[in-house]
Structure 1
């Protein structure tokens, strides 16, 4: 697929293919820590749907909103003209049932610029209030990025002005902000893939995009998107509003699969828990394969395969996994319902390893590695406190604690993750631990930094990432270029694992576009300070 933009700084290809973590405050290439083997435990906490500017735009020392000008923030309409004002926030700023109610009419005629959602002189919406959700899908994200200009977020979103909203936070109001000040905040960290949660969870575990073989002759034949010849933009419907000021865009077919059958927007796992129930009379452990949103079992190599082969212990802890699995086995939806404000809620497409054939129900692999994180993370916290975490642990908070706009708020999830970190700091395993806290994707929120040009799949918009560890550089803002796959790079580097194919192809694409490969997080660490 050809893309039109090149904005990364050229570097020598030979130097660029060094995977030891590239750049820093001075863009120098740091040396690989000589005692990386001191790290015995890696913990990854994966939250939801926030751009860097949305939460950390005012963080001291970071490339934030202080570097935004009218020229690099103003949004263009669909015809390329500068909008006189931002569109209203379609269907209200606040989610149904949330107080205070901020209506669509109250958001009309906002200046064409970023705005603070919590501004006391504006909407004064607290972190504890859920805003409406924003579109965050594969093709729309690319259309919003607009070749690196980031100037069509309002044009191709479905929430109008809300894409430009951020929170004016500090260490007194955002618990993770205080932790970021104590350790390392990465301000040049991008989501691994364009679009939404489903695809970015896959890139977290395998650096790959799922595939649906022979989709055009399957139940999913009516789930294929209609894309323009550039391979990047969706085909508009004939009745799509011409201006973002007058309405949300309409597309001919904005669906889950690409024309060549890659799954880029949400599809359901083939195994329970899945939003798709079992087929009538079929195996209760499976999702009905006859439903067009059920993805066939995937067979690509994932990080768990590499860890197994190297005898490195690992687990994925899914918050509310046990409750969701029980609900599925009992034939009820309950906790596995989708976006809502009930507690807890659980999103099946946030469990990426439940899509892989080698982790199917009944396998020992599944029993050992797909674990219940418990309601409110209780089972994960028990393992932390007992000092029994495996060498590599992924933790996915349940829905109401993951910060996703639409069905939860920032405050609950931020406090929950800060509490989990507090437990980690007191764990018997803490002294040799590296914790990475990041977000799966931007949730549709604007960010002013252009992602580097990579491959067909990403990287997408900039997101926050914290590296928390006794070895983390203290009070450090790391400007090294990272994306979601940098987590896999760190794990494979630390445990001397083979490289996943997607890591190699991503770096080759970055270099071919005149840029540099992704760092592996080692620049955030200093083994001399502990």
Structure 2
């Protein structure tokens, strides 16, 4: 059913669209029959696409790396237009809770925020450790970023930009032009948060399960349980604790630098969204750059693909700790096996829903787009400072969305652009801690000790900092800034609710997460296609 038919039937289908919290009342939205059939696949009745609670039949999550909200959108919609790609906001563009004149000129931190130019796209990586991010927040004063998370010098990387006060700095629409143009034509949030403090792995786990507790450490060869405080914090008598760092996943041949290191690995227990989708026969997949092996060594698959970023630095494409499903035995593809066919992508086979990014392109070209797709760029295009940058990230984001918008599936697709953590970059907005922790790993005296720990599980303190969040869809609100509270786990909650697969349980944050419904308009859809130039981020057609 296209947007017009949904609009014509809205009164009959939706009795009350807005709940008290401002979210779409799912209880009033009946299941929505699908008329789509995956071409090229012979499916049994149990494998055919299931009903959804909205017109959205395909969710594509672009999960990028290490950006705070103010780092990309602090001055939105005003760009300097002194260099880079020119950006001029549409009239009546809503403003965001961003960097005010006072924050730009009389900031409580040691340095004022400064604008970074496109020529400074390649920067040092900042400190985004679990405890140091809490210290930067400083009990809500938001004034210890320079002392706690800044890295202004990058040894051995002469092309990376660094200077004192770097952690405070930001880009505008002359550099992150594509994202600002998407915000102009679709919906974004200025109140979306990193679910917990810390680096990439906790963010990725929260995206798919809302849960960083339930992990334990194993040795890299025999997977025998070991004790390792880097792998998990606050372990119980069985060694099960919480992941706050970036240990590699146990069920991945490419972990530990292709199993050449002796670092211990992490196993996650419990359920993730892949398990829930499998139970309901909903097609899905995680697609990551560099996942396809380049060879074998010592009985392990080897992930050796590399690319150069815009600065000329070479980065290994595949990062195991960015692939959250590989921590769970139920959803892992340990040997990085390819799908048995293009028609099988999204279904359970030897690949077990874990794919190379090229498999997404193959599925899209064959009109076999899974219902739920998580996309992780190769490292050089994932936005992570030091080995990636906003210009490379823009090429990945824009190329992907352009292909989707030109496909038949676009009419029923929602793209969500989300991030795994803030990298420690400055954001001025103080978090309201919703889940606390009472242990030594947390800077909990003035911050994390103010709230209870859900399920009694320690080291899940958060939310921490605001992150960018955009929804790009024919059903997205146009030029809209949503102010309702959301977090990484809100993406999980949207998937759960759209396909009616239930909740994770066991104190998962999917229970507390705000909904994405305020970013959609199913009653009066009017968002058109927007094709951008991947290099400049500027529109090339309307």
- 2:376 counterpart residue number: 396
Contact 2:490 2:510 (8 Å CA) reproduced: no
CA deviation profile, 1:338-376 (whole Å, cap 9, x unmatched): 9993155221111110111113447956624111113xx
Contact 1:433 1:469 (8 Å CA) reproduced: yes
Q: Partners in 2 of 1:155 and 1:524 — Cα distance?
A: 36
SS at match of 2:373: strand
2:313 to 341, 344, 351: 341
1:130 to 122, 132, 145: 122
Contact 1:184 1:468 (8 Å CA) reproduced: yes
* Cα distance change of structure 1 residues 476 and 325 upon mapping to structure 2, 3 Å threshold: farther
* Cα distance change of structure 1 residues 328 and 57 upon mapping to structure 2, 3 Å threshold: farther
Contact 2:71 2:170 (8 Å CA) reproduced: yes
* Cα distance change of structure 1 residues 359 and 388 upon mapping to structure 2, 3 Å threshold: same
Larger mean Cα displacement after TM superposition, 181-190 or 323-332: 323-332
Q: Partners in 2 of 1:259 and 1:270 — Cα distance?
A: 19
Question: 1:388: how far off?
Answer: 1.1
* Cα distance change of structure 1 residues 311 and 475 upon mapping to structure 2, 3 Å threshold: same
Which is richer in strand?
A: 2
What does residue range 293-372 of structure 1 map to in structure 2 within 5 Å? 293-295=264-266, 297-323=267-293, 334-335=304-305, 341-343=313-315, 345-360=317-332, 361=334, 367-372=351-356
Residues 1:49 and 2:53 aligned together: no
Contact 1:436 1:466 (8 Å CA) reproduced: yes
CA RMSD of aligned residues (A): 3.2
Residues 1:525 and 2:500 aligned together: no
Question: 1:445: how far off?
Answer: 0.3
SS at match of 1:69: helix
- 1:480 counterpart residue number: 484
1:206 to 209, 213, 216: 209
Question: 1:34: how far off?
Answer: 3.5
* Cα distance change of structure 1 residues 34 and 259 upon mapping to structure 2, 3 Å threshold: closer
* Cα distance change of structure 1 residues 20 and 502 upon mapping to structure 2, 3 Å threshold: farther
Question: 1:318: how far off?
Answer: 1.1
SS at match of 1:349: helix
CA deviation profile, 1:143-175 (whole Å, cap 9, x unmatched): 2122222211112124152210111325x8611
Q: Partners in 2 of 1:325 and 1:480 — Cα distance?
A: 47
- 1:147 counterpart residue number: 139
1:168 to 169, 172, 177: 172
Q: Partners in 1 of 2:234 and 2:434 — Cα distance?
A: 20
- 2:100 counterpart residue number: 66
Q: Partners in 2 of 1:393 and 1:383 — Cα distance?
A: 11
Question: 1:74: how far off?
Answer: 1.5
SS at match of 1:354: helix
Contact 1:53 1:64 (8 Å CA) reproduced: yes
- 2:9 counterpart residue number: none
Q: Which has the higher contact order (CA 8 A, sep 6+)?
A: 1
Contact 2:122 2:386 (8 Å CA) reproduced: yes
Q: TM-score, normalised by structure 1?
A: 0.70
Residues 1:116 and 2:115 aligned together: yes
SS at match of 1:438: strand
* Cα distance change of structure 1 residues 117 and 272 upon mapping to structure 2, 3 Å threshold: same
* Cα distance change of structure 1 residues 34 and 114 upon mapping to structure 2, 3 Å threshold: same
SS at match of 1:437: strand
Residues 1:276 and 2:251 aligned together: no
* Cα distance change of structure 1 residues 422 and 136 upon mapping to structure 2, 3 Å threshold: same
Aligned length: 410
